[in-house]
Structure 1
Amino acid sequence: MVRNKRWMSLVIICAVLLVVAGCGNKEKPNNEGASDSNKPAAELRDVQVMLDWSANTNHTGLYAAKDLGYYEEEGLNVKIVQPGAGGSDALVASGKADFGVSYQESVTLARTQGVPLVSIAAVIQHNTSGFAAPVDRNIKKAADFEGKSYGGWGSPVEEAVMKSIMEKDNADVSKVKMINMGDADYFTAVKRDIDFAWIFYAWTGIEAELREEKLDMIYVKDYSEALDYYTPVLVTSEKMINEDPELVKAFMRATAKGYDYAIKQPEEAAALLSKAVPELDKDLVLASQKWLSPLYQDDAPRWGEQKESVWKGYADWMFERKLLDKPLEAGSAFTNDFLPDSP
């Protein structure tokens, strides 16, 4: 999965979010009260979860919770849907979807524009994205970007991140040739006209391993603590939290159990994802799941835990680089209140 395609979605989302901020009265009504885990199927409450991108191992816990009946135990009939062109944020903020998969950078931008999105769990504790290049391009550190061709989408955030880490190596981002990748995937693009791109290793990096195409990987978190942000995250709206907190608790109890299953039983969890989304490459799903499962919780006391220092650090980084119009009130952008003490 090429990281930059997500930034293109973010550009689209940003335009939509400005409109969504005034759409609070259009949200669908919520049923009141907690869900009864013993309800018959006919009485299960319909809940829609919108993904951020095509289904992949970032989402395994959701599919596990659905397949293993954890949502039904909480009285929920959960439908997992693919995002439209505008991504999940706008639909969650407007109440058209109950929950969604997003990213800290997207929620940060939304919050500073008055859009009431709230992150309720970090899917992965540490940023697994970075700049990847075939080994024959000899890109071993950020300074080696100079004179090379980068495939992206022209987002100001891409260049800001690249500039930030290149400065650590006393290098100049203006010496990088920026190329729009269009619809090409990473493997096509590096054979055609680029030297490196921003990817998530858990998917594209693992696919490279299966293809036996060796990569040099420069993780952005290794250059800056501020860039070790949460990506992806689960989100809902402030309205949902305020008006139906019991639904959020029920959803998170089941979801946490799903991710705990994926952590402890990666092979079985991979099989569940492949069953739910049969068009995915089963070998890639299995290899990716084995790599990613230990990283969901990592060094956190429980899956999903978020720190205010992480939210503030990345938002301050964005503001200093003029990627935000104003500072973020970090404490209001996320909550750990709906995470169960144990799955």
Structure 2
Amino acid sequence: MVSRARSRIMLAGGLALVLLACGTNGDGGTAGQATRVTLGYVSAVDQMGAAVALDLGFYEEAGLDVTLAQPFPTGVDALNALSAGDVDFVQVGVPSFGAVLEGMDLVYLGNYSGSATRLGIDETMAVVAEPDSGINPDDLSTLAGKRIGVSEGTINHLYLLNLLKAEGIPVSEVRIVNTPPPDMAVALQTGGVDAIAAWDPWPITARESVDGAFEVVRGGGYLAYIGYLVSTREYLEGNRDAVSALLTARAAADRWIRQHPDEAAGVTVRWIPGTELEVAKEAMRYNIVQLDPRFSACNYLALDTMVRAFAEQGVIEGTYDPNDHMVPDPVLEVMAQRPELFEDLPDIPEAARISPGYVFRRAEAEQACPAG
């Protein structure tokens, strides 16, 4: 069930709104007639652009009346809500693989986290262990034989799988315990797992709330992080103006977060229950490294790389062509019309830049996008 309660809590300090030019709204409406949109997000720091855009009025200035669903524990739950029609958009990455392969006609419209300039990026991911686990951060082979909590079918699952592969540890030599991120600190505290692998803020929360818990590894380039703004093709085809307005509002929010990470942490503690401010501040410093809403060949390559990796690990059956589900035109239009929203980001490599009608070819994208 989607909550219709809308937060209008303004951040301390009288933060100025960034006004967004908007002539028409989604569904053919005119200025002054806000288009209603529902957006689902997961309780993760890298998804806080959804809340920032609401708190600071970016959606409203773009002509949207946005309702945020209660935070979902995982992207699987968010996609279930999208499939049921409870939300119009969700922010999701790896869980979309299974949904697409099962026949859900999803479209990837922009990033909430990732990189348009390179392939490997995973600074918002970490492994945290309890003090008596026997795991040595200087010798990751000590992960063998341990119980490790992840959310199966999500990006933290693949992060662990890729880490184990890089260290030469067969998956059969660890016990994967399916654990929702909000429950990971408790699982660590009670001895249900020896370690957890997850996205922020949960590794930091676990480290700070469990006596003696410690970070085993942070980032490391083990995967190409993907996090997309996703909807259904049917919704896109009937609401193109609303899609463009949402992407514009989100780009403005992302820029504000990059410029004000500590203030953005204040948003996080309100929207992710139980998150301490200092935890959110630390997590936000990692988040802004990969807060890039643009699309390039690198984002296609990241999706293709991750789908292939999950298939190779046997987590999903089959792969699919990114060209069939990535729809770059709306965000490319925002990039062209509002360049100031992206001017603080690194330049996209010339060979990785794309234009409307782009067709992904893996070999060309691999040449265009640095590995890390």
Query: What range is the shorter-chain TM-score in?
Result: 0.7 to 0.9
- The answer to whether residue 136 in structure 2 is matched with residue 139 in structure 1 is yes
Q: Distance in 2 between matches of 1:87 and 1:279?
A: 20
Cα deviation 1:227-269 (Å, max 9, x = unaligned): 3230x32211111222221110011111110111111111222
The within-5 A match list for 1:1-343 is 32-33=27-28, 35-36=29-30, 38-39=31-32, 43-52=33-42, 54=43, 56-82=44-70, 87-103=77-93, 105-125=94-114, 126-127=121-122, 128-134=124-130, 137-140=134-137, 141-152=139-150, 162=160, 164-179=162-177, 185-193=183-191, 194-200=193-199, 202-208=200-206, 210=208, 213=212, 215-218=214-217, 222-223=221-222, 227-230=223-226, 232-274=227-269, 280-297=275-292, 303=294, 307-339=299-331, 340-341=334-335, 342=339, 343=341
Q: Distance in 2 between matches of 1:182 and 1:72?
A: 33
Q: Which runs of 5+ in 2 are unaligned?
A: 1-24, 115-120, 342-372
> What is the RMSD of the two structures over their aligned residues, measured on CA atoms?
3.4
Which letter does structure 2 place at the counterpart of 1:336?
P
**1:25 aligns to what?**
none
Cα deviation 1:200-220 (Å, max 9, x = unaligned): 2x3123335655855233357
Contact 2:147–2:174 at 8 Å: present in 1 too? yes
Contact 2:129–2:196 at 8 Å: present in 1 too? yes
Which letter does structure 1 place at the counterpart of 2:263?
E
Q: Distance in 2 between matches of 1:151 and 1:124?
A: 23
Q: What TM-score, normalized to structure 2?
A: 0.68
Q: Distance in 2 between matches of 1:135 and 1:270?
A: 28
Query: Any idea what SS the aligned residue of 2:109 has?
Result: strand
Query: Any idea what SS the aligned residue of 1:87 has?
Result: helix
Q: Distance in 1 between matches of 2:68 and 2:27?
A: 22
Contact 1:49–1:100 at 8 Å: present in 2 too? yes
Q: Which runs of 5+ in 1 are unaligned?
A: 1-29
Query: Any idea what SS the aligned residue of 2:318 has?
Result: coil
- CA shift for structure 1 position 153: 6.2
Which letter does structure 2 place at the counterpart of 1:115?
M
Query: How many equivalent residue pairs?
Result: 297
The 1:150–1:335 alpha-carbon spacing in structure 2 relative to 1, beyond 3 Å, is: same
Comparing both chains, which one has the higher relative contact order based on Cα–Cα distances under 8 Å and sequence gaps of 6 or more? 1
Query: Any idea what SS the aligned residue of 1:65 has?
Result: helix
